[in-house]
Amino acid sequence: MSPKCPALFGRPHTPGLGPALQRVAECIRQTLPQAQILMESQTAADAGTDLGLRAASISQIEAEADLAIVLGGDGTLLGIARQLAPRGIPLIGVNQGRLGFMTDLDIADLDTALPPLLRGEGTIEERQMLSVRVLRRRAGQDPTAPAQVVFEAQALNDAVVSRGSVSRMVELDVFVGDHYVQSLRADGLIVSTPTGSTAYALSASGSILHPALAAIILVPVAPQALSSRPIVLPAEAEVTVVVQDGAGTELHCDMQALTALADGDEIVVGPSPHRVRLLHPKGQDYFSMLRRKLQWSANPTHLGRPDPIPPAR
């Protein structure tokens, strides 16, 4: 269905944001003359000019909007997606970043690519998220007593336990459910969703997971033992990482939410009850995106040729 109240978001403190927002607003007005357009308050402040749109807080957008259009890169989209996921508001990403795995539209193609989505001709894709908690016990506390939750966050890409600024490895015990998996000595550990499998996990030699998979992947970062390898787990698995020796160790969620860790901390990562809803152009092709953005599986003999046509069934 066509949205009645789209909301606009922009990458904070981006020079020249106003003209791009103006283009998006004009495109919405021409396609949906009756739509009530909201603009997130910080975006409105960064626009640098009055676009004639009502500025709204996140809470107002959550209550009123039925679509979010995000101008920026993947980092901007990740932050907005986590906030809006509990409300089930679909998101469209307009790429103004450097790579843009999750931002389907390019600002140069906006006038032709956005109207079909506004007319309800796109495809909704739901992406799983992670729920992350850090549990801490006081010194001398009864080990059977409940631990205190000192940090909570949601993640769309990944939860990363890393050595922070300290130039030494961390030692981690890893459990899946009630099962001991391994004791890891490494620069860190990534717990990634399929969405995050093309982010930090990929640079650490993790596998690419198709976003339709219900799965997570554990990826050690520069492990001391060469036998430590990535492992794919069911999406409903609960992973517990216990910090054994990790002065300066940190936890990052989507590289945006951060907390310092202490020895004995338990990082519990499980499935989130919320899912991010992305609105894609009709016929959006994940493998084409991989080839275009990553030069994935590029064969020099095929450079410059059109893509092969699938065989008839």
| pLDDT score at 146 | 85
- pLDDT average, residue stretch 28-53: 92
What backbone torsions phi and psi does residue 279 show, to the nearest 5 degrees? Answer: -100, 110
21 band by pLDDT with thresholds 50, 70 and 90: very high
**3-state secondary structure (DSSP) of residue 1:** coil
| Nearest C-alpha neighbor of 195 from the set 310, 278, 105, 311 | 278
Q: Is the pLDDT at 137 greater than 90, yes or no?
A: no
Comparing CA positions, the residue from 269, 245, 247 lying closest to residue 257 is 269
What b/e readout covers 199-230, taking b as 16+ CB neighbours within 10 angstroms? bbbbebebbebebeeebbbbbbbebeeeebeb
Cβ burial 134-150 (10 Å sphere, 16+ → b, else e): bbbbeeeeeeeeebeee
CA-to-CA distance for 2 and 50, rounded, in angstroms?
A: 26
Mean pLDDT of 35-39: 96
Residue spans per domain, the chain: 6-122+281-298, 129-273
Rounded to whole angstroms, how far apart are CA atoms 149 and 135?
Answer: 5
Instruction: For residues 83 and 59, give the distance between their C-alpha atoms in angstroms, rounded to a whole number.
Output: 10
Contacts of 97 (CB under 8 A, 6+ apart): 11, 72, 73, 74, 75, 76, 103
Q: Which of 91-95, 190-194, 236-240 has the lowest mean pLDDT?
A: 91-95
312 token code pair? 């008839």
Per residue in 197-237, pLDDT (tens digit) is 999 999 999 999 999 999 999 999 999 998 999 999 999 99
* Token pair 């969405």 in the structure block, residue: 195
pLDDT at 298: 66
Cβ neighbors of 214 (< 8 A, separation 6 or more) are 128, 234, 235, 236
Superfamily name and number for 129-273: Probable inorganic polyphosphate/atp-NAD kinase; domain 2 (2.60.200.30)
Q: Rounded mean pLDDT of 55-81?
A: 95
Classify domain 6-122+281-298 at the CATH class level.
Answer: alpha beta
Q: Is the pLDDT of residue 164 over 80?
A: no
Which whole number is the average pLDDT over 245-264? 90
Ranked by mean pLDDT, the top range of 150-159, 167-176, 238-247 is 150-159
SS3 content of the chain, % helix, strand, coil (to 5): 25, 35, 40
Catalytically annotated residues = 74
| 113/203 Cα distance (integer angstroms) | 31
Sign of CA dihedral 278, 281, 283, 286: negative
The pLDDT value given to residue 302? 66
Phi, psi of 289 (to 5 degrees): -60, -45
Task: Tell me the pLDDT band of 145, cut-offs 50, 70 and 90.
Answer: confident
- CA 306 to centroid of chain Cα atoms: 31
Integer CA distances (angstroms), 188 to 107, 227, 234, 283, in order: 36, 15, 21, 38
